[in-house]
Amino acid sequence: MLPFLFIATTLLSLILFYQGTGKDKRVLVFSIFWLLSIGLISYNGYFENTQEKPPRFIFAVIPSIIAFIWFYRTIDLNRIKPKFLVAVHVVRIPVELILFELFLQKKVPILMTFKGWNFDILMGILATFILFYMLYTKKNPSKSFILSWNILGLLFLTAIVLMAVLSSPLPIQLLAFDQPNLAVLQFPYIYLPTYIVPVVFISHLLTLKDTLHG
Model confidence pLDDT, tens digit, residues 48-71? 887 777 888 888 889 999 999 999
> What's the confidence (pLDDT) of residue 26?
95
C-alpha 63/C-alpha 28 separation (Å) is: 16
Residue 180's pLDDT is 82
Task: Check residue 189 and give its pLDDT.
Answer: 95
Q: What is the pLDDT of residues 191-204, one digit of tens each?
A: 999 999 999 999 99
**Can you give the pLDDT at residue 172?**
67
Residues 195 and 31 sit within 8 Å (Cβ to Cβ): yes
pLDDT score of 214: 63
pLDDT at site 116: 81
> Assign residue 139 a region: left if phi > 0, alpha if psi is -120 to 50, beta otherwise?
beta
pTM of the model: 0.94
Q: How confident is the model at residue 176 (pLDDT cuts 50, 70, 90)?
A: low
* CA–CA separation, 210 and 214 (whole Å): 6
Cβ count within 10 A of residue 32 = 12
